[in-house]
Amino acid sequence: MSEPILIVTTGGTIDKQYFDALSRYQIADTMVTNLLAIARVNHPFFIEEMLRKDSIDLTDEDRTQIVDQVTRTSFSRIIITHGTDTMTLTAQALSGVRDKTIVLTGALTPARFSKTDAPFNLGMAFATAQIATPGVYITVNGSVFPADRVAKDRERGCFVLKS
């Protein structure tokens, strides 16, 4: 049997929902379950909803909690859905975890929108988690990046290799 994948959700744009009454976005229930059902994923996975925060609001304590969860779990292949603004900071915090394949992904547009990058990014993360060697990766914009060599280019709205 294929090694199961643990998916840890932390919030971010991928799980945002627009609330008209408030005229702003809020993190809602995770969309990961729906996205994987629509894609008819039959590879074994488990989802743990850990946080519901915009990544700008994540604290050092939140990152410690994420690292502790990843370190303690018996799963060796892990996807973390995360907001893109501070994804690289969480990846850096996870850099000391050994013998696990950790893939961070998110979306620049909420998964609830029809024109979103969420399904593609999650699919890339799911594939990467299955085949990549132990380490920390970020998958977004159709690329797989070693987490220690990537940065978000806010002006262009994408991730790029650091020079």
Q: What does the pLDDT read at residue 28?
A: 72
Please, what's the b/e burial string for 66-92 (b: 16 or more CB within 10 A of its CB; e: otherwise)?
A: bbebbeeeebebbbbbbbbbbbbebbe
Q: Looking at residue 127, which CATH number applies to its domain?
A: 3.40.50.1170
| CB-CB contact of 136 with 97 (8 Å) | yes
pTM of the model: 0.93
- In this prediction, residue 17 carries a pLDDT of 79
pLDDT at 86: 96
The stretches in the chain having pLDDT less than 70 are: 1, 18-23, 26-27
Predicted pLDDT of residue 54: 87
Burial-class residue 50 by CB neighbours within 10 Å (0-12, 13-18, 19+): middle
Please give the pLDDT value at position 43: 96
Domains: count for the chain:
1
The residue range of the domain holding 18 is 5-161
